[in-house]
């Protein structure tokens, strides 16, 4: 039996969920154009679409909402928020905004020129889209260790620092307004980045006069893995590790919907006064006055409390333990997964599990549809559907390295019984894997197509499902 982490909380409020019938699920996914983003949330039993904005707030956070000060300017919650962000993230200027992608938009709109490059250990999809939207070129530089799926190297989220140095040499520092590190590295499996890699990346940036920014959505989970797995950090408090990580960055882009433990919120934090001033101009135009940035006073309060709670070590042991538990159960079910499991999700390698489905028929999507049809479980494809891009020279579609399905676990929301249910459904899918079919896109937008596109199964026979 794998280690079962015990929830370090008891449940005070419940929200009912129920499993629709098989007929309803088959009809529901068909009506959604085989796109799980289009299914009504009430028709979902266990929702592992994302860990973003979906977690449960604590009693202190709910209490915090009651002391919301909704003044237009300089509310008391703003001062609490500003002090908390400065304390953890070690920056002089804090700019609130309503979620992470706004932070990206404001930053890139301000510092990026057409044709500039943004290197990143791996872009998340909104970061990539915001870069491209402003005429920039997103460059992914994940570390080499990532290629060995079975290796238990604990910091597979690292930046390929040799690759970064070579890339800067090649295009020149003037074409790179910022280097970004994503902590943890969501798109490659929620894998953490080591402190040594942060230090090395910072050195390279400093040598070339390029600022280093963190995409810090899961900073607390990253700090926990440093404590657990990096020599010299075992006895340190996670809070102080997080502070040390952040001290190496010149700026932070944050989606507080993850390790802020809230349903909505984000911020930018920077050290450069001139940059802060320029960012503020756009912030005021698109989000709001700089002491609320599109958020309510009560939201700022909940974030301030959530950020500190996310650094609680009992919570982090349970949080990462639950992900590892789900990972182990899925392995036992016969699913190839990215190892070691990261901080917020388990990633199934659907390309490996379903070799009969070519990348451009979206094996990850096939499995995602099957999780819903069989178990009312919502997961998300992270493969050619989300990240497939068209080569501007040849016009051919380029697939990412892997065709993954992400099972992201909301924070403090589902019990271990829910995890066991998911693994039971996975066992059934693995048994019938040869019956799963590929998909083709019927209708798609220009950017972030996975959110809204519709698809069709490539077969006369619907895949797999025979009984409840």
**Please, what is the Cα angle at 15 between 55 and 31, to 5 degrees?**
85
Q: Of the listed pieces 88-96, 121-129, 192-200, 350-358, which binds ligand F0G according to CB under 6 A? A: 121-129
Which residue of 35, 46, 52, 464 would you call a contact of ligand F0G, by CB under 6 A? 52
Active site residue 435: no
Query: What is d(CA 340, CA 224) in angstroms, rounded to the nearest whole number?
Result: 14
Which residue of 35, 50, 90, 310 would you call a contact of ligand F0G, by CB under 6 A? 50
Q: Of the listed pieces 21-29, 95-103, 284-292, 368-376, which binds ligand F0G according to CB under 6 A? A: 95-103
Give least dist CB 459 to ligand F0G, A.
29
The answer to whether 368 contacts ligand F0G (rule: CB under 6 A) is no
The answer to whether 128 contacts ligand F0G (rule: CB under 6 A) is no
Q: Of the listed pieces 40-48, 76-84, 93-101, 314-322, which binds ligand F0G according to CB under 6 A? A: 93-101
Q: Which of 38, 138, 59 is nearest to 378 (CA)?
A: 38
Name which of 183 and 436 has its Cβ closer to ligand F0G.
Answer: 183
Give least dist CB 374 to ligand F0G, A.
22
Query: Do 442 and 458 touch, CB atoms closer than 8 A?
Result: no
Neighbours of 137 (CB within 10 A): 16
Q: Which of 338, 344, 308, 464 is nearest to 400 (CA)?
A: 338
Query: What is d(CA 326, CA 56) in angstroms, rounded to the nearest whole number?
Result: 19
Give least dist CB 463 to ligand F0G, A.
25
Residue 315 CB contacts under 8 Å (≥ 6 apart), including other chains:
8, 309, 412
Which residue of 257, 374, 412, 450 would you call a contact of ligand F0G, by CB under 6 A? 257
Query: What is d(CA 151, CA 345) in angstroms, rounded to the nearest whole number?
Result: 18
Query: Do 159 and 183 touch, CB atoms closer than 8 A?
Result: no
Give the single-character DSSP code of 58.
P
Place of tokens 């280093």: 212
Active site residue 242: no
The answer to whether 215 contacts ligand F0G (rule: CB under 6 A) is yes
Query: Do 390 and 396 touch, CB atoms closer than 8 A?
Result: yes
Give least dist CB 6 to ligand F0G, A.
26
Which residue of 124, 224, 267, 421 would you call a contact of ligand F0G, by CB under 6 A? 124
Active site residue 250: no
- What mask of x and - would describe binding to ligand F0G in positions 174 to 203, judged by CB under 6 A? --------x---x-----------------
Q: Which of 457, 43, 96 is nearest to 255 (CA)?
A: 96
> In the chain, how many H helices and how many E strands?
17, 16
Q: How many residues bind ligand F0G (CB under 6 A)?
A: 16
- Indicate the helix (H) or strand (E) that contains 303: helix 297-309
Query: Do 357 and 366 touch, CB atoms closer than 8 A?
Result: yes
Q: Of the listed pieces 66-74, 99-107, 204-212, 450-458, which binds ligand F0G according to CB under 6 A? A: 99-107
Which residue of 255, 310, 365, 384 would you call a contact of ligand F0G, by CB under 6 A? 255
Residue nearest to ligand F0G (CB): 100
Which residue of 28, 266, 327, 438 would you call a contact of ligand F0G, by CB under 6 A? 266
Active site residue 269: no
Query: What is d(CA 282, CA 266) in angstroms, rounded to the nearest whole number?
Result: 15
- What mask of x and - would describe binding to ligand F0G in positions 395 to 434, judged by CB under 6 A? -------------x--------------------------
Name which of 266 and 363 has its Cβ closer to ligand F0G.
Answer: 266
**Please, what is the Cα angle at 82 between 318 and 295, to 5 degrees?**
85
Which residue of 217, 252, 369, 436 would you call a contact of ligand F0G, by CB under 6 A? 217
Give the active site residue among 72, 83, 162, 431. Answer: 72
Residue 324 CB contacts under 8 Å (≥ 6 apart), including other chains:
2, 3, 5, 340, 341
Query: Do 283 and 266 touch, CB atoms closer than 8 A?
Result: no
Catalytic residue annotation: 72, 124-125, 215, 217, 258, 450
Q: Which residues bind ligand F0G (CB under 6 A)?
A: 50, 52, 99-101, 124, 126-127, 182, 186, 215, 217, 255, 257, 266, 408
């Amino acid at each position: 039996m794998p280690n079962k982490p015990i929830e370090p909380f008891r449940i005070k409020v419940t929200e009912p969920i129920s499993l629709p019938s098989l007929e309803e699920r088959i009809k529901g996914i068909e009506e959604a154009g085989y796109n799980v983003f289009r299914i009504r949330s009430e028709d979902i039993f266990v929702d592992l679409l994302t860990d973003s904005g979906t977690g449960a707030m604590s009693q202190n956070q709910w209490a915090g909402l009651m002391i919301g000060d909704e003044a237009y300017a300089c509310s008391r919650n703003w001062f609490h928020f500003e002090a908390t962000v400065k304390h953890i993230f070690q920056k002089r200027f804090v700019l609130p905004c309503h979620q992470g992608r706004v932070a990206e938009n404001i930053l890139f709109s301000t510092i990026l020129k057409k044709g500039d490059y943004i290197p990143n250990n791996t872009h998340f999809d909104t970061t990539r889209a915001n870069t491209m939207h402003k005429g920039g070129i997103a460059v992914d530089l994940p570390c080499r260790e990532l290629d060995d799926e079975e290796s238990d190297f604990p910091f597979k989220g690292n930046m390929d620092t040799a690759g970064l140095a070579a890339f800067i040499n090649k295009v020149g520092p003037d074409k790179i307004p910022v280097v970004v590190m994503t902590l943890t590295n969501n798109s490659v499996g929620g894998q953490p980045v080591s402190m040594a890699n942060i230090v090395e990346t910072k050195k390279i940036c400093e040598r070339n006069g390029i600022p280093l920014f963190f995409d810090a959505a899961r900073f607390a989970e990253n700090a926990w893995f440093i404590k657990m797995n990096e020599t010299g950090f075992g006895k340190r408090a996670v809070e102080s590790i997080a502070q040390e990580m952040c001290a190496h960055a010149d700026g932070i882009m944050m989606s507080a919907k993850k390790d802020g433990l809230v349903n909505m919120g984000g911020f930018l934090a920077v050290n450069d006064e001139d940059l802060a001033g320029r960012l503020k101009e756009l912030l005021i135009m698109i989000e709001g006055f700089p002491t609320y940035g599109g958020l309510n006073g009560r939201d700022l309060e909940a974030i301030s409390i959530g950020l500190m709670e996310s650094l609680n070590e009992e919570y982090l042991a349970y949080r990462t333990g639950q992900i590892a538990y789900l990972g182990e159960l899925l392995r036992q079910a016969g699913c190839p997964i990215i190892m070691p499991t990261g901080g917020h999700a388990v990633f199934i390698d659907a390309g490996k599990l379903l070799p009969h489905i070519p990348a451009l028929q979206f094996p990850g999507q096939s499995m995602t549809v099957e999780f819903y049809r069989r178990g009312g479980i919502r997961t998300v494809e992270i493969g050619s559907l989300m990240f497939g891009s068209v080569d501007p020279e040849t016009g051919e579609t380029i697939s990412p390295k892997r065709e993954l399905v992400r099972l992201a676990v909301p924070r403090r929301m589902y019990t271990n019984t829910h995890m066991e249910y998911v693994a039971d459904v996975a066992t059934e899918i693995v048994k019938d894997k040869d019956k799963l079919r590929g998909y083709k896109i019927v209708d798609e937008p220009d950017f972030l197509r996975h959110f809204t596109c519709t698809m069709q199964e490539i077969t006369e026979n619907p895949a797999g499902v025979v009984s409840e």
